Amino acid sequence: MRLSRPLLASAIFLLSLSPAIHAAAPDHWTGTWAAAPTGATNPDGQFGADGTDGTTLREIVHISLGGSEFRAILTNEFGKEPLTINAATLAPSTGGGSILAGSSVPLTFGGHNSVIIPPGALIVSDPAPLKAAALSDLAVSLYLPTQPMSQLSVHSYADQTNYVIPGNSVASASLTSPKEVYSWDFLKGIDVKTEADGAAIVTFGDSITDGAHSTRDKNLRWPDVLAQRLQADKKTTKLGVLNEGIGGNRILHDVSGPSALARFDRDVLSQAGVKYLVILEGVNDIGHATDPAKPYDVITADDLIAGYTQMARRAHTHGIKVIGATLTPYVGAKYSSPTGEAMRQALNQWIRTTKELDGFVDFSKVASDPAHPDTFLPADDSGDHLHPSDAGYKAMGESIDLKLFTK
């Protein structure tokens, strides 16, 4: 049906009176701290054999970016029952299990102090007003009421002392005789509200990214060193670092948590504000596949290259730049072998030369003994010929060209 000219003119006039619709600019959130969860059977002594009778967790995190508004990501992704949290707070840590008196702010969820997280799910808290500087420590306190808890969502190797105490002490400035634990339970990440140019770097890998054998509570992992350097350079102060390493993790097979390919969406693509990805993974795939005593899950260098290629392409689809890191030496480790060393060299050569990646960091060159390039430099070896010492992590973090993160 055609409108007559008078009716058409009236319609145009009415439209001209309608207010213009302008979408409000969304808040920009950037990851400032993260840990990759896995599933773990509820350990006796931490929450009891069957669940908790009412427990406060106080978990300490070292943030990379500062700000004045934060939110916490809590996880029940590997839980088998709903997870109830009756109270939660965020506060500056003053060391040990203590927080700055009167500084804690409640974490709410849709305006409520309590939340039930379904099995397999996570939840992001409401924004919480709190001023905190870059490279400072925050304390996240969670009160878990009585409930069954057969499996935890946990980052088992935190390299950080955290605290457990009976009852609800989420707002207490100090804790009386808490039990010390060395995992991050149910805590997946911290985001900070930033300007639109804030962005995150995800460091993705195994125990060498996780920081195994570094000194506990000192934040000496190579991603920590990278975060310090980014904050010291005025060109990169708006970049956060998220450590998504899992000890024992592999690219192609599930054992220590889901494989890198299986957890890629969860631990990389879903992170707030991620712009860059650094991948250091594969030595566990190689070591187990070529273990002289008991090889299993046998793979080839080409299989690993295919895995790296898949991760790079999936990241590129989301506009994330991908930086490969060459695998550090492992001759002398329990599962080392000449066949495995040849695979490591082949993968490293691909990382240095491929066009699938946007750049590379040559950790192998940094950590190798010049006289024996297939072994760790003695000063950088923790002693097991697989993991770096504190000095080794420092050398790795300091070797990264920050120009990789200004493009």
The verdict on residue 5 lying in a domain is no
Express each pLDDT in 176-211 by its tens digit. 999 999 999 999 999 999 999 999 999 999 999 999
Express each pLDDT in 51-110 by its tens digit. 677 999 999 999 999 999 999 999 999 999 999 999 999 999 999 999 999 999 999 999
Mean of all residue pLDDT scores within the chain: 93
If asked whether residues 182 and 218 sit together in one domain, one would say no
3-class state of residue 97 by DSSP: coil
Quick one: pLDDT at residue 12? 47
If asked whether residues 179 and 201 sit together in one domain, one would say no
If asked whether residues 387 and 248 sit together in one domain, one would say yes
3-class state of residue 343 by DSSP: helix
Tokens of 79: 């839980």
If asked whether residues 83 and 128 sit together in one domain, one would say yes
Q: How far apart (Å, rounded) are the C-alpha atoms in residues 364 and 114?
A: 47
User: Bridge-partner residues for 376, per DSSP?
Assistant: 368
- Asked if residues 332 and 375 have their Cβ atoms less than 8 Å apart, the reply is yes
* CATH number for the domain harbouring residue 251: 3.40.50.1110
Q: Is the pLDDT of residue 15 over 50?
A: no
Q: Is the pLDDT of residue 158 over 50?
A: yes
The verdict on residue 19 lying in a domain is no
Q: How far apart (Å, rounded) are the C-alpha atoms in residues 333 and 340?
A: 11
Average pLDDT of 364-383?
Answer: 95
Residue 138 is inside which H or E element, if any?
Answer: strand 137-144
Tokens of 259: 């494989």
Q: How far apart (Å, rounded) are the C-alpha atoms in residues 270 and 156?
A: 21
Residue 271's φ and ψ, nearest 5 degrees, are: -75, 145
If asked whether residues 184 and 200 sit together in one domain, one would say no
If asked whether residues 81 and 158 sit together in one domain, one would say yes
If asked whether residues 183 and 215 sit together in one domain, one would say no
If asked whether residues 213 and 110 sit together in one domain, one would say no
If asked whether residues 359 and 337 sit together in one domain, one would say yes
Express each pLDDT in 258-294 by its tens digit. 999 999 999 999 999 999 999 999 999 999 999 999 9
The verdict on residue 3 lying in a domain is no
Q: How far apart (Å, rounded) are the C-alpha atoms in residues 378 and 329?
A: 11
* Final residue of a structural domain among 188, 213, 238: 188
- Asked if residues 244 and 268 have their Cβ atoms less than 8 Å apart, the reply is yes
Quick one: pLDDT at residue 43? 66
Quick one: pLDDT at residue 293? 95
Judging by DSSP bridges, how do beta strands 87-95 and 321-325 pair with one another? unpaired
* Final residue of a structural domain among 159, 188, 217: 188
Q: Any residues with CB less than 8 A from the CB of 362 and at least 6 apart, and which? A: 325, 326, 352, 399
Kindly provide the b/e burial profile for residues 365-385, where b requires at least 16 CB atoms within 10 angstroms of the residue's own CB.
Answer: ebbbbeeeebbbbeebbbeee
- Full domain range(s) for residue 181: 29-188
Express each pLDDT in 304-354 by its tens digit. 999 999 999 999 999 999 999 999 999 999 999 999 999 999 999 999 999
Q: Any residues with CB less than 8 A from the CB of 404 and at least 6 apart, and which? A: 276, 323, 358, 359, 361
Q: How far apart (Å, rounded) are the C-alpha atoms in residues 260 and 267?
A: 9
| The amino acid at 361 | V
If asked whether residues 177 and 199 sit together in one domain, one would say no
CA distances to 208, 226, 271, 307, 341 from 277, rounded to whole Å, are: 16, 13, 11, 15, 25
If asked whether residues 255 and 319 sit together in one domain, one would say yes
Tokens of 100: 């700055």
What is the percent of the chain with per-residue pLDDT over 70, rounded to a whole number? 92
Quick one: pLDDT at residue 52? 78
Helices (H), 247-300: 260-264, 283-289
The verdict on residue 376 lying in a domain is yes
Q: How far apart (Å, rounded) are the C-alpha atoms in residues 383 and 153?
A: 31
Chain centroid to CA 172: 28
Query: Into how many domains does the chain fold?
Result: 2
Q: How far apart (Å, rounded) are the C-alpha atoms in residues 367 and 397?
A: 11
Within the chain, what is the greatest distance between any pair of CA atoms? 91
Quick one: pLDDT at residue 3? 45
What pTM, to 2 d.p., does this model score? 0.93
Number of neighbouring beta carbons within 10 Å of residue 170: 25
* Final residue of a structural domain among 157, 173, 188: 188
Number of neighbouring beta carbons within 10 Å of residue 1: 2
- Asked if residues 73 and 128 have their Cβ atoms less than 8 Å apart, the reply is no
If asked whether residues 220 and 361 sit together in one domain, one would say yes
Kindly provide the b/e burial profile for residues 389-400, where b requires at least 16 CB atoms within 10 angstroms of the residue's own CB.
Answer: bbebbbbbbebb
Q: Is the pLDDT of residue 148 over 50?
A: yes
Quick one: pLDDT at residue 53? 78
Quick one: pLDDT at residue 103? 93
User: Binning pLDDT at 50, 70 and 90, where does residue 26 land?
Assistant: confident
